[in-house]
Chain A
Amino acid sequence: GESVGLHLPTLSVQEGDNSIINCAYSNSASDYFIWYKQESGKGPQFIIDIRSNMDKRQGQRVTVLLNKTVKHLSLQIAATQPGDSAVYFCAERTHNDYKLSFGAGTTVTVRA
């Protein structure tokens, strides 16, 4: 079965608000956690990753939080824009293996 999953399949957010997308994982051996964005009709695109020895990492308008105690991962998007409408996937991998295991995805819709 899947070791990575998302709490909610859909998320509707008002333009300009912050978005929080959640992900739960079960593999304690996972060393890296990654977020991908997939726009309609396109392949997934890397957003940001975090290693298991970190609890927070920031990128451009995005922040990933990792809580290993409860095996929870989240992606925060600041000032959500219409271009952020997409499906977001979390994924995980172990240190010595480049294979990724993906969750089912959360569809984010931005309301104007």
Chain B
Amino acid sequence: DAGITQSPRYKITETGRQVTLMCHQTWSHSYMFWYRQDLGHGLRLIYYSAAADITDKGEVPDGYVVSRSKTENFPLTLESATRSQTSVYFCASRPTSGSSNEQFFGPGTRLTVL
């Protein structure tokens, strides 16, 4: 199906482990984003990408790594997970052109770090 998907939907891991969250979109949108959502903070931008091989830090990038070798994929890696990274993670995408401000969000990944 067309759209934006995230995997896994749920993940439990332990402190210190490496975890990779996957994001895939079928629209060939240039821009992709990773947010985390915690109670009382709304959504905070972790990293974003304007195109393949172009990534940049958002508001809360520490402890995360991203890559974008292909336009359709934007994986987010927690190199050494910490309890403070327990959160719901959302991936989003949008095209470069057009006047709309719409970002299209995936269903989210709920990550628990024990």
Contacts and interface: CB of A to CB of B under 8 A. Distances in A.
Interface residues of A, number: 20
B42 A45 contact: no
B80 interface: no
Interface residues of B, number: 25
Could you tell me the dominant secondary structure of chain A's interface residues?
A: loop
Contacts, number: 53
Interface in A23-38: 32, 34
Could you tell me the dominant secondary structure of chain B's interface residues?
A: strand
B108 A42 contact: yes
Contact of A45 (B45, B94, B105): B105
Given A98-B94, A99-B48, A104-B42, A32 B101 contact: yes
Contacts of B44: 102
Please give me the 7 A-B residue pairs with the lowest Cβ-Cβ distance, nearest first.
A43-B105, A46-B102, A102-B42, A49-B101, A102-B43, A104-B42, A34-B101
Interface of B: 31, 33, 35, 40-45, 48, 50, 58-59, 90, 92, 94, 100-108
Interface of A: 2, 32, 34, 41-46, 49, 89, 93, 98-105
